[in-house]
Amino acid sequence: MKTFPDKINRRSFLKVSALAGGGMILSFNWLAGCKPKELETLGMPKEWFRLNGYIKIGENGLVTIMSPNPEGGQNVKTSMPMIVAEELDADWKNVVVEQAPLDTDNFTRQFIGGSQAIRIGWNALRTAGATARNLLIQAAAQTWNVPAEEITTEPGFVLHTASGKKAHFGEMASLAATMPVPEEIPLKEISEFRIIGHSHKNVEAKNIVTGKPLFGIDYKKPGMLKAMIIHPPAHGLRLKSFDDSAAKGMPGIKAIFQIKSHQDEYERTFFDTTSFTDLVAIVGNSTWEVMNAKKAIKVEWEPFSTYEEKRDWNGRKEIRTIPGGLENEASQIQQMAEASKKARIARKDGNPETAFAKAAKVIERTFHGPFLAHNCMEPMNFFAHVQPDRIDCAGPLQKPELTEQALSARLGVPIENIYIDMTRLGGGYGRRSYAHWLIEAAVISKEMNAPIHLQYTREDDMTGGIYRPMYRATYKAALDENNNLIGFQVNAGGLVEPPLYADRFPAGAVENYLAEEWTVASNITVGSFRAPRSNFIAAAEQSFLDEVAEAAGKDPIDFRLELLKKAKENPVGERNDYDPDRYAGVLELVKSKSIWGQTPAGISRGVSAYFCHNSYAAQVVDLKIENGQVVVEKVVQAVDCGLLINPDAAKNLCEGAAVDGIGTALFGELKFVEGAPDRTNFDGYRMIRMKEVPKTIETYFVESQVDPTGLGEPAYPPVFAALANALYQATGKRFYNQPFINQLNT
């Protein structure tokens, strides 16, 4: 039987405590869970005792798993408890899952991002469940006076087959809590799994579809006041003065005042990004009253000059220059073109200069990606109540631990006096990583000496920053007289970060390879967007590879497989961060499932494949053009994310990624005019509509026993290029600039 050594200090990883009235609590620092689901069999036990983060077993055998991981629609509230329950050998129908608050004493990595929740939590979650099971076995062995090796479990029970003795977990829980934790904890073989690998319904499905209050926007507390803010209408402006004379006497209005979210000398960390720190706050009894008063306030703005801010990038100190001025798209594009001429080398293999000089054919193309807004369905909001001895907060966050640190620094309150309850996220994928609105709510609460619920409007959200950066990438390929790829170059950058991943495919597959990157400073705040950087660079790279394959006279899939074979058999360089076999595996699978080479009549077909977030995805898009409109008939996708935890949930994630990616590629765009975004609501910012989603999506997973890897993001980046390559087949035009709808309409 496989074992996982308990290398982490067991005192900090696992606490064992007897329950009053019988029962066992196991507390550890890596779980993720769900809110309670309806019990199908057992009622609640007579008594629980709670620590911070834990598994607990009631005297009647009921199991509760609490976890700090926020739920943003990726379904970890079901999948992660499944991992614990599997190793515990619990009966899934008798498992209750609950959301824990932020608790850095008992949990680590209390956030969502990077599609890493399952991957990073895998061993710790398994160990947690397996440890509880081991202690129950020890307890049964002592109670029945038999060797522990003779004790087995079945869902919810311990058994001694030779004597016929059997007891449910609750009967052994109190004694189990006194047992020593073993140095090594046996884990199940994959062949023994009863829960993992089988589909289970979202534990909050009923609450979601019946409209139960799960989100931050639903949060209510006695005496709570509503608040809104006014920020500058354009990046490059700051607050000069305001006149609230017409608003302060309006019904329900309690106060109007200026606040500062971050102090000027504050050293910002990775997720402390915010465009505007000097704001006008409006506080009143109701959202409607506050919104009306907000419209009546006259505000004067002024340009700010170039300034510097201190940054701490995970220990790397930096002084970042924030340029003054009101930016426009035309000047931004010009700056990017100039910056691309001064790029730094990120990776160089062989002699690309010579390869291009001797090439029989050179293909060069430039790709452009615009700013994008997140547009979460639930606008930004947060509750805060600053009291003399503590701060209570509640709302949707992706990085609560990091936000707690920023709040502590801003208000000078020890972290141990800050309490954050995490609600379900009504959309995230990066937008809720930069939770300055929590700090704004807390500053307003302190000023008002009252509990505050801060609410953004859609316009506040879309004009306040944290966009997907604007990107540009130029690719060059050199082919010899036999149409072999002998040289490859990528020059990529953006405002204010580059999208380049220098060590990803086709790095390692081309002898002469050059990757360069550059940035352009901007006062427009950017940040994480679903599959950061990959969401653009995959589209550019995979579109370009299709064009190179065509120039070489080769099938697009065969061309990629040929390169991957080289990367496997004779890799160039030592830093290649992908597995050629797994990469080729998804291409082979999508080729088979889509019946590649037999395109249906009247259909145009494109393919793409990409590696990111430790997983692999390949997609084939079938479409046609009807009355000038794109009709996506079918998407076939193959994904390798290692071992599947919850197949239906995994399929849902990948289907959503395909729909999201197609919509963004076709319609997503935000431009700046004198520092102001040109769209502020859904009437101008185009999202995919129900009638435009693919008619059919088929998702296939590579069968694997590799430990699970990321899944929330990997299927998103490649679909951009699969769509672009299919559009080329349909129109005869290559699509170099997003959104594609602009080129379709010209």
Q: pLDDT tens digit string along 227-256?
A: 999 999 999 999 999 999 999 999 999 999
Contact 526, 275 (CB under 8 A): no
Q: Give the C-alpha separation, 266 to 695, whole Å.
A: 50
Provide the pLDDT for residue 107. 66
Q: Is the peptide bond before 718 cis (omega within 30 degrees of 0)?
A: no
Q: pLDDT tens digit string along 665-716?
A: 999 999 999 999 999 999 999 999 999 999 999 999 999 999 999 899 999 9
Burial class (CB in 10 A: 0-12, 13-18, 19+), 338: exposed
DSSP states of 535-552 as a string?
HHHHHHHHHHHHHHHHHT
Provide the pLDDT for residue 31. 36
Provide the pLDDT for residue 34. 35
What residue ranges in 140-277 does DSSP mark as E strands?
A: 151-154, 157-160, 165-168, 184-186, 225-230, 237-243, 253-260, 268-269
Closest CA to 473 of 365, 607, 330: 365
568 or 110, higher pLDDT: 568
Cα 598 → chain centroid: 36
Q: Give the C-alpha separation, 610 to 538, whole Å.
A: 7
Domain spanning 3-209, CATH class: alpha beta
Q: Categorize the per-residue pLDDT at 43 as very low, low, confident or very high, splitting at 50, 70 and 90.
A: low
What is the sign of the dihedral through the CA atoms of 31, 33, 36 and 42? Answer: negative
DSSP states of 675-687 as a string?
TEES--STTTS--
Provide the pLDDT for residue 32. 33
Q: Give the C-alpha separation, 640 to 617, whole Å.
A: 6
Q: Is the peptide bond before 496 cis (omega within 30 degrees of 0)?
A: yes
Provide the pLDDT for residue 519. 97
285 or 20, higher pLDDT: 285
Closest CA to 129 of 181, 55, 70: 55
Contact 479, 553 (CB under 8 A): no
Mean pLDDT across the chain, nearest whole number?
90
Provide the pLDDT for residue 186. 87
Q: pLDDT tens digit string along 44-99?
A: 544 432 222 357 888 888 888 776 678 888 888 899 899 989 999 999 999 888 87
Residues 6 or more apart whose Cβ sits within 8 Å of residue 185: 3, 4, 6, 127, 130, 131, 134
**The two structure tokens encoding residue 209:** 């579809």
Question: Position of tokens 């006259």?
Answer: 298
Q: pLDDT tens digit string along 341-351?
A: 999 999 999 99
Provide the pLDDT for residue 411. 94
Contact 511, 576 (CB under 8 A): no
Multiple choice CATH, 219-307+380-455, 2.40.30.10, 3.40.366.10, 3.30.365.10, 3.30.70.980: 3.30.365.10
**The two structure tokens encoding residue 493:** 């950058």
**Topology match between the domains 3-209 and 219-307+380-455:** yes
- Per-residue pLDDT at 20 exceeds 60: no
Distances in Å between the Cα of 135 and the Cα atoms of 174, 363, 364 are 10, 64, 63
Q: Give the C-alpha separation, 421 to 68, whole Å.
A: 9
Contact 414, 430 (CB under 8 A): no
- Specify the 3-state DSSP secondary structure of 719: helix
Q: pLDDT tens digit string along 528-541?
A: 999 999 999 999 99
Radius of gyration (C-alpha) of the chain in whole angstroms: 28
Contact 478, 362 (CB under 8 A): yes
Cα three-residue angle 716-718-722, rounded to 5 degrees: 120
Closest CA to 61 of 98, 16, 83, 91: 91
Distances in Å between the Cα of 387 and the Cα atoms of 119, 418, 443, 447, 453 are 38, 10, 11, 11, 15
Q: Give the C-alpha separation, 275 to 239, whole Å.
A: 12
Length of the chain: 746
- Per-residue pLDDT at 192 exceeds 50: yes
Q: Categorize the per-residue pLDDT at 311 as very low, low, confident or very high, splitting at 50, 70 and 90.
A: confident
DSSP states of 631-679 as a string?
EEEEEEEEEE-SS-S-HHHHHHHHHHHHHHHHHHHHH--B-EETTEES-
Provide the pLDDT for residue 8. 32
Cα 42 → chain centroid: 35
Cα 637 → chain centroid: 20
Provide the pLDDT for residue 659. 97
- Per-residue pLDDT at 101 exceeds 80: no
- Per-residue pLDDT at 554 exceeds 90: yes
Q: Could you tell me the residue ranges of all domains in the chain?
A: 3-209, 219-307+380-455, 470-744
Cα 219 → chain centroid: 23
The torsion angles phi and psi of 400, rounded to 5 degrees, stand at -60, -35
Provide the pLDDT for residue 10. 35
Rounded to 10°, the helix 400-411/436-448 angle is: 40
Provide the pLDDT for residue 109. 74
Cα three-residue angle 703-705-706, rounded to 5 degrees: 110
Region 439-458 average pLDDT: 97
Closest CA to 169 of 91, 260, 282: 91
Cα 140 → chain centroid: 42
3-state SS record for 687-735: CCCHHHCCCEEEEEECCCCCCCCCCCCCCCHHHHHHHHHHHHHHHCCCC
The rounded percent of the chain whose pLDDT value lies above 90 is 73
Provide the pLDDT for residue 521. 96
165 bridge partner residues:
160
- Per-residue pLDDT at 223 exceeds 90: yes
Region 379-407 average pLDDT: 93
Provide the pLDDT for residue 125. 85
Buried/exposed code over 21-57 (b: 16+ C-beta within 10 A; e: otherwise) = ebbbbbbbbbbbbbbebeeeebeebeebeeebbbbbb
- Specify the 3-state DSSP secondary structure of 209: helix
Residues 6 or more apart whose Cβ sits within 8 Å of residue 630: 623, 666, 692, 727, 740, 741, 744
Q: Give the C-alpha separation, 669 to 598, whole Å.
A: 34
Q: Give the C-alpha separation, 383 to 368, whole Å.
A: 39
Closest CA to 418 of 447, 389, 395: 389
CATH 3.30.365.10 applies to domain 470-744: yes
- Per-residue pLDDT at 295 exceeds 50: yes
Provide the pLDDT for residue 15. 36
Residues 6 or more apart whose Cβ sits within 8 Å of residue 311: 267, 268, 269, 317, 318, 319, 320
701 bridge partner residues:
639
